[in-house]
Structure 1
Amino acid sequence: MQRASLHAFLLLAVALAIAACVTTRGPELEPRYIALHNAFAAMGLAQVGPVQRASLAEGREARLPLELVAECTTIALFGGQGVRDLDATLLGPGGAPLAKDVTRDSQAVLRTCVDAPGTYTLVVKMAAGAGDVLAATWVGGFGARAAPASSAVVSASAVGTCDSPMALSPGTFTGSTTRGESEHEGTCTSSTSREVVYRFELTTRKRVTIDVNPHFDSVIYLRKEDCADPDAEVACNDDAPHDHDSHLDEELDPGIYYFFVDGYSSEVGTYKMNVAMTDVPTVEEVCQKARMLATGVPATASTRGLYDHLHSGGCGDSAKGPDAPYRFDLARRARVRIVERSNDFTPVLHVRKRCTDTKSEVGCTDSGFAAGEATFATVLDPGSYAVIADGADRDADGSYSVAAEVAPENGQAGIPGDTCADATLLGAVDPAAAGDTFLARDDVSVRCGGTGAPDVIYRVEVAKRSRLQAQLERQEGSHVLALRKACSDVSTELACSASIDHVVEPGVYYLVVDGDANMGMGRFSFAFRLREVAAQETACRAARTLVSGQTVKGTTAGGSDKFVGTCAGSYDAQASPDAVYRIALPARGRVRLNVTSTGYSPVLTLRRACVDGASGSASPEIACNSDGSNVYRAHIDTVLDAGVYFAVVDGQARGSQGPYALEYVFSPVTAKTR
C-alpha cells in the first residue's frame, strides 16, 4: 500500500471508529478510543505504551515523549468536545521531523518506521479550538518490519492470546474481551469467559500494580514463564477492591510474565487498565539501610510504601506483610526484651544474626502481653542482630513502634515478689493479678518449669477450707503456675501447670509464677479466686432429690453463689446465685436435664460430687451447658452409671438470677438401647 493511500486508509479507520461513537459527549474519550482500538486490532496492529492525554488552548502545543522500538509505528490522536483542528509532528531523538499530519480535523494520524529504539517526541498543536487530546501508539500491520529479539514488542500482529500476546508496559490501556479466546481460567474463581493475554518482561525486581476497571465482572491472573500452564500462576484476583473491579499488586522477580484479563462466569466487555511498574530495592539494599535500635528509646515509623523482603522462619504465617529491619547491638550477654506494637496490622517480630539470612533467625513471635503486640524475650550473647518489624498479613501496613530493653542475665534485686520473704499477698478474689518476670531472679525451682528461669512469688492466706483457682491469661513468653505449702521446699508442691484448681485446708500457701522449660520471661496476668467450701457443704446437705418425669420450679434470686461451671464464663467473673439438686440412679441409665428460665441466661452443671474436693478432685464437674441457641434454656443429656450425682442451676457470669423450671428424666440402659 502506498504511503499516501495508507495514510488516507488510517484516517478513514479513525473516522469510522469515531462515527461509531457519535453520541459521546464532553471529554469522555474512552468509548471512542475503544472503538479505534478494535478497528486497529482488526487490521493487525497491536497497541503499545500508555495512552497519553493533554489539554490545550488554541494556538498552544504539548510535547509528549514516546518510547519507540525499531518497528513501524502508528500514532492516532483525537480531540474532545471543543477541538476543531489538531496538528501533529513526530520528532526523532535528535529533533529531526520524521512524520507530520496537518489535516484540518479534530483527529490526526501519523505513520512511520524507525530504525533504532529510543525516546521520540510527539508535538501536538491545537490549531483551532480548545480542549482535551488523547494520543495512543500502535505497532505492526501493513507488512511491518519484524521487531528485533531485544524489543519489548511481543508481536507485530498481537491479538491477545498465549501464542500472540499483546505488549504490556506502564501506562493506561483500554481493551475488550469480546473477541478474545476462551482457553484459560484463574484459580480464584470459575470462568468460561473469553480472555485477553498481555506479556511483559522484567530485567530487575519490580513492584507491578495493575488496576482493571471494567464494564463487566472481571477476573485477572498472572503467570510466569509459561503462558499456558495453570501451575505457573503467581497471582489471581476477583472483585477487588470493588465487586466488579480487579486489582493486582505484586513484587516480581526478573522474568517473563503473562497477564490475563478474563471475566467471571461468561461475562465479557470493555475495560480500562492502569499499569505501574516501580523498582524494588534488593534485600541487600534494604538491610544496608537498617536503622539502629537503641535500648529505652522506642522507634516509631510506618510500613506504608515498604516491601515484603524478609520472611520469618517459624511464626506469623511467614510474615508476609511489608517489613522494616533495625540493627541491634549487644555489648555483653544479657536478657533482651523487644516489643513491636501496632493498631493497624498484626505485628510479627523476628530476630536474626544476619539480616539477609533467614537461616540465622534466633527467634520469632507473633504474640505478646496485649492485643496488637509481638514480644521477643530471651537471653542473647553479645553481638550485632537484625530486628525485623514485620506483619503477618499480606498488604496489611500502617504505623508501628518497636522498643528494646536489656537486663542483667541473672536479673536484679528489689523486684516486687522476687523472693519468698517479700512475696506479694493475693486477695480472696484478685482478677487483676499481674506481674513481670523479666527483671526477676531465679529464686525457686518448680517441677514443671525451666531451670534458671526467673520467677515471681505470691502469698495466699487461707482461713477456712477453700477451693483455690488460678489460671494464666495474658503473658509474654511462656510461664507456669506452682502451688506449694512451703515456699522454698519443692517437696510441698501441690500442683504445677498453666492453671491451678485445688482444695486447700486452712494455712499459708505460696503461688509461684515461673518461666517454663523454654526460659519464658516477661509480663503476665492471671485470674485468681479463693472460695470457701463450707457454703457448698450446707447447700449439699439440704439438696432436694429429683424424681424422674417431674419438673420442679424455683428461683435463684436472692440466693448465694456457691458453685462455678466451666461454661458459665471466666471463673473470676462468676458471681451468680445458684441452687443444687440431688440425683440417685438405681442403675446405669440415660439422664436428661432441661432448665428454662425467665429473663436471664441459665447454666446447668452435672457433678459427681457436691462439694469441691470431696472425691479427691477439686473439679467434680461431669458436664456443663449454657445453650447458645436459646439464651433462656440449658440442657444436659448423658449416660451415667448407678450412683449419686448433683445438678446445679446457675447463671451466666455475674448477676444472672431469677425463676426457673428444671425437668429431669431417667431411662435405664438395656441391652437393646445401648
Structure 2
Amino acid sequence: MRRASLHVLCLFAVALAIAACATTRGAELEPRYVALHNAFAAMGLAQVGPLQRGSLAEGREMRFPVELTADCTTIALFGGQGVRDLDATLLDAGGAVVARDATKDPQAVLRACVDAPGTYTLHVKMASGAGEFMTASWTGGPSAGPRTGGASSALATLSGTGTCDSPIALSPGSFTGSTSRGESEHEGSCSSSTSREVVYRFELTARKRVTIDVNPHFDSVIYLRKDDCTDPDTEIACNDDAPHEHDSHLDEELEPGVYFLFVDGYSSESGTFKLNVVMNDVPTLEEVCQSARVLSTGLVTSGSTRGLYDHVRSSGCGDTAKGPDTPYRFDLARRSRVRIVERSSDFSTVLYVRRRCTDAKSEIACADAGFHDGEATFAGMLEPGSYTVVADATDREADGSYSLFAEVGPENGQAGTPGDTCADASPLGNLDASAAGDTFLARDDLSVRCGGTGTPDVVYRLEVAKRSRIVAQLDHQEGSHVLALRKSCADVSTEFACSASIDRTVEPGVYYLIVDGDPTFGLGRFSFAFRMREVAGQENACRAPKLLANGQTAKGTTAGGSDKFVASCAGSYDGQASPDAVYRIVVPSRGRVRLNVTGTGFSPVLALRRSCLDGTGGAPEVACNADASSNRAHIDTTLDAGTYFAVIDGQGRGNQGAYALEYVFSAAPKTR
C-alpha cells in the first residue's frame, strides 16, 4: 500500500485552508463545495462517489464507507459555522490507518494512493466546536508531487466563495455551480435582477477569444467586468437569453488583464447551472498582415467572417468597425481610379484602405455605404504602391459571408461613358423619372461651381415646354456627387443652381443637368430622382388667394378644381392628384396660429406654407396634417409675423369635396 507524499498532501491542505479563510463566518457549505469541485476539475481531478453530509456535537464521531480505486484519491472535509477543529482518518478493511489529517482547523484533507481497490472507512471526529460538515472524494491529479506551474497557488485562488471579495477563479473547461447561495449585490446592464449571483475571476496575459456558455435550470444572465469587480461602469459585455430563452452566451476578444464573470438570474430567479469556458489564442495583427491574401482586380473574391477576430478598427466610419475583419493586400502599378466593393447580405459592411496594414494612422479612406443596400464602396484615386484593404463589419456579432470586387480605371477616364460630353448628353423625360449613371470611367469635361476640379462628370438634357418647376435630388451613390443646372451646357455663367439637390422654376427651353464629383472622392455609380411640373395653375392660384381674417371660417369646395400643390402628408409625390384650394393669412406679430378644416364626403389635408409658389428658394411648407380615417385636419403652431398660405388638399388621387376652414390667431404674451 502506497501513501501520498507530504508535499502533495500539503498542496491540497493549503488550498482548502485558503478557501476556508476566504469564506465568511456565516457562509453556507454549498458554495465552498462548488468552488473546491471546480478547482479540482481544473487540475484534472474527477469526483467519485456521493457527496456526504453530517452533523456532530463536540467530541462525537461518525464513520462513512469510502470506495477507493487503485489510484490516488483526495478526500476533502469542511465544516460549517461553529466547527473549530475537524479531524479525519482513513482506515483500511483491517482498521489500519491509511491517511490522517493532523491539522487543527474546521476543514481537513486526506490524500491516499492505494495499491488495492476496495471499501475503506472514513473516520470523522468533531475535535472542537459543533455543527454541520460535508465530505467528497476526487481521483486523479498529482501522485507524488505537484504538476507543473504552481498548482497550489492556482488551487488556492480557485477555491473562492463566489463574491467580489472572494471570487472563484475560472479556467477553460466545464463546471457546475449554483446561484442559490450567492449574494445579491450586483446587476448587469442587459437585464434587471434582484437575485443572487456568483462571481468568477480569470486573468489573461495575452489577447484571447473567450467563449462562455451557461446552461442553467433557471433564466440566467451573465456579464463581464474588467479590473474592478464592484464597479458597474467597468462592464464590457452582458447577455440574457442567448442562444435560447434561458441560456446565456458571451463571445469576446479580450485584451490582457483581470476579468470578473457574474452568473446571475433574471429578476429573482436562481438555481444550478453548467458553465462551459473556452479560451483560444488570437493571432497578432502582425501575423494576420503577413498572411494577407492578394486582392486581384476584375475577379470576385469571396470570404467569411465566421471564426475570425476583430484585429483592426476604422477611425473614419462604420462606428469604428467592431466586427471580425480580414485584411487584403492590394498592389497598384500606376496612379489610377480604383473602385472596391464589399457586399454581404448577412451583416453591415465596412471597407477601409490603409497604406500600411499594422498602422491605424495610415488609413486614407473608409466606407460603410454603397450604391445598393448591403454594400460598402471605396471609389477614388490612388497613387502607385501597395495598400491594405480591410473587409470589416459594423457589429461585433457579424457572422456570415461577404464578397469583394476591385476594378481599376485610367487616371483621366476613357471615352464611351453614356452622357460623357455635352454632345452626347442623355435625355431626361418631361415627367417624373429616376435616372442612374456612373462617373467611374467618365472624363472631366466640365467644371461646376460647387464641384471639384479634375473630377469626372456626366450630362443629361431636358426640354421644358412650359414654365415648370424642376426638382432633382441624389439618393444613392458611390463616392460623392453634386448636381448643377445650366441653360448652356458648356457655359458655367449660365449655371443657376448647384448642390446635392435642385429645386428651381424655369422658363420654357432646353436645359442641362450635370452630375459632377465633389472635391473629395467624386467617383462611382449614382442615381437621382427627377420631377418636372408645370406651374401655370399654381401661379394663377397664388396671384390673389383669398385672405382669411382672424376668427373667420371660410367655406368652399375642391370638387371640380385642379391639382396645383403637393403636400408632404398627402401621400407619395407620384400618387398625389387631388384638387386643392389656397388661402392667405397675415400674422400681425409672433403668436399662436390655429387652423381647422372639416371636410364633407372626403378626408382633407391641411398644409401651411411660408410661400405660395414652389421653387422660390427653401422649403415652402411649415406644417402639414392629415388623417385618412377622419374628415378633419388641424394645425396648431407658433409663427413669427408675416404672410402665410393655407392649402386644403386631398389624400392621394381624386379625393375632393366641400370644406369649412377656421382660422384663429392669438398674440404671444409680451416679455419684459
Q: TM-score, normalised by structure 1?
A: 0.76
Q: Could you tell me which of 47, 52, 60 is aligned with 1:75?
A: 47
8 Å Cα contact 1:178/1:194 also seen in 2: yes
| Helix, strand or coil at the partner of 2:431 | coil
8 Å Cα contact 1:46/1:166 also seen in 2: no
8 Å Cα contact 2:206/2:255 also seen in 1: yes
- How far is the alpha carbon of 1:337 from its aligned partner? 0.7
Closer/same/farther in 2, CA of residues 426 and 117 from structure 1, 3 Å limit? farther
Closer/same/farther in 2, CA of residues 422 and 602 from structure 1, 3 Å limit? farther
Deviation per CA, 1:363-383: give whole Å up to 9, x if none. Answer: 111111111111111100111
- How far is the alpha carbon of 1:432 from its aligned partner? 1.8
| Helix, strand or coil at the partner of 1:624 | strand
Alpha-carbon distance in structure 2 between the residues aligned to 1:670 and 1:159 = 67
Deviation per CA, 1:220-255: give whole Å up to 9, x if none. Answer: 222334444545433233343445432211112334
8 Å Cα contact 1:600/1:651 also seen in 2: yes
| Helix, strand or coil at the partner of 1:237 | strand
Which stretches in structure 1 are left out of the alignment for 5+ residues? 5-37, 52-65, 80-84, 120-146
Alpha-carbon distance in structure 1 between the residues aligned to 2:417 and 2:607 = 42
Alpha-carbon distance in structure 1 between the residues aligned to 2:138 and 2:623 = 81
2:663 is the alignment partner of 1:659: no
Alignment of 1:19-58 (within 5 A): 42=32, 46-48=36-38
Closer/same/farther in 2, CA of residues 43 and 436 from structure 1, 3 Å limit? closer
8 Å Cα contact 1:211/1:247 also seen in 2: yes
2:305 is the alignment partner of 1:307: no
> How many residues matched?
580
8 Å Cα contact 1:75/1:111 also seen in 2: no
Alpha-carbon distance in structure 2 between the residues aligned to 1:335 and 1:325 = 21
8 Å Cα contact 2:35/2:160 also seen in 1: yes
8 Å Cα contact 1:452/1:519 also seen in 2: no
Partner amino acid for 2:183?
E
Alignment of 1:443-458 (within 5 A): 443-458=445-460
2:623 is the alignment partner of 1:621: no
Partner amino acid for 1:516?
D
8 Å Cα contact 2:470/2:533 also seen in 1: yes
Deviation per CA, 1:392-428: give whole Å up to 9, x if none. Answer: 0111221111111111111111211111111111111
1:477 aligns with 479
8 Å Cα contact 2:601/2:658 also seen in 1: no
Q: Could you tell me which of 359, 375, 378 is aligned with 1:376?
A: 378
Alpha-carbon distance in structure 2 between the residues aligned to 1:436 and 1:457 = 11
Alpha-carbon distance in structure 2 between the residues aligned to 1:382 and 1:296 = 18
2:581 is the alignment partner of 1:552: no
Deviation per CA, 1:291-325: give whole Å up to 9, x if none. Answer: 21111111122211211111111111110111122
Alignment of 1:292-303 (within 5 A): 292-303=294-305
Identify the range of structure 1 (217-226 vs 108-117) with the bigger mean alpha-carbon deviation: 108-117
| Helix, strand or coil at the partner of 1:48 | helix
2:516 aligns with 514
Alpha-carbon distance in structure 2 between the residues aligned to 1:521 and 1:3 = 81
8 Å Cα contact 1:565/1:624 also seen in 2: no
- How far is the alpha carbon of 1:391 from its aligned partner? 0.7
Alignment of 1:523-602 (within 5 A): 523-540=525-542, 548-550=551-553, 552=555, 554-556=557-559, 559-568=561-570, 571=573, 573-583=574-584, 585=586, 587=588, 591-596=593-598, 602=604
- How far is the alpha carbon of 1:462 from its aligned partner? 1.2
Alpha-carbon distance in structure 1 between the residues aligned to 2:275 and 2:598 = 61
1:144 aligns with none
Closer/same/farther in 2, CA of residues 175 and 470 from structure 1, 3 Å limit? same
8 Å Cα contact 1:47/1:166 also seen in 2: no
Deviation per CA, 1:264-299: give whole Å up to 9, x if none. Answer: 455432222222222322222222222211111111
Q: Could you tell me which of 402, 405, 408 is aligned with 1:406?
A: 408
Closer/same/farther in 2, CA of residues 595 and 405 from structure 1, 3 Å limit? farther
| Helix, strand or coil at the partner of 1:209 | strand
1:122 aligns with none
2:366 aligns with 364
Alpha-carbon distance in structure 2 between the residues aligned to 1:606 and 1:640 = 11
1:486 aligns with 488
Alpha-carbon distance in structure 2 between the residues aligned to 1:402 and 1:635 = 52
Alpha-carbon distance in structure 2 between the residues aligned to 1:103 and 1:632 = 92
Alpha-carbon distance in structure 2 between the residues aligned to 1:306 and 1:600 = 59
Q: TM-score, normalised by structure 2?
A: 0.76
Alpha-carbon distance in structure 1 between the residues aligned to 2:601 and 2:43 = 76
Closer/same/farther in 2, CA of residues 305 and 658 from structure 1, 3 Å limit? farther
2:148 is the alignment partner of 1:114: no
- How far is the alpha carbon of 1:386 from its aligned partner? 1.1
- How far is the alpha carbon of 1:625 from its aligned partner? 0.6
8 Å Cα contact 1:503/1:618 also seen in 2: no
Closer/same/farther in 2, CA of residues 194 and 619 from structure 1, 3 Å limit? closer
| Helix, strand or coil at the partner of 2:288 | helix
Alpha-carbon distance in structure 2 between the residues aligned to 1:150 and 1:78 = 25
Which stretches in structure 2 are left out of the alignment for 5+ residues? 5-27, 52-65, 74-112, 121-135
Partner amino acid for 2:503?
D
8 Å Cα contact 1:99/1:110 also seen in 2: no
Alignment of 1:168-179 (within 5 A): 168-179=170-181
- How far is the alpha carbon of 1:569 from its aligned partner? 5.2
Identify the range of structure 1 (628-637 vs 297-306) with the bigger mean alpha-carbon deviation: 628-637
Partner amino acid for 1:552?
K
Deviation per CA, 1:174-225: give whole Å up to 9, x if none. Answer: 1112222344444444545433222333343321111223333433222334
8 Å Cα contact 1:49/1:170 also seen in 2: no
Partner amino acid for 2:485?
L
Closer/same/farther in 2, CA of residues 378 and 491 from structure 1, 3 Å limit? same
- How far is the alpha carbon of 1:155 from its aligned partner? 3.3
Closer/same/farther in 2, CA of residues 87 and 578 from structure 1, 3 Å limit? farther
Partner amino acid for 2:553?
Q
Identify the range of structure 1 (322-331 vs 597-606) with the bigger mean alpha-carbon deviation: 597-606
Q: Could you tell me which of 253, 257, 260 is aligned with 1:258?
A: 260
- How far is the alpha carbon of 1:594 from its aligned partner? 2.5
Closer/same/farther in 2, CA of residues 117 and 257 from structure 1, 3 Å limit? farther
Share of identical aligned residues, percent? 62
Partner amino acid for 1:577?
S
Alpha-carbon distance in structure 2 between the residues aligned to 1:150 and 1:629 = 76
Alpha-carbon distance in structure 2 between the residues aligned to 1:103 and 1:505 = 108
Alpha-carbon distance in structure 2 between the residues aligned to 1:185 and 1:609 = 56
Partner amino acid for 2:199?
V
| Helix, strand or coil at the partner of 1:276 | strand
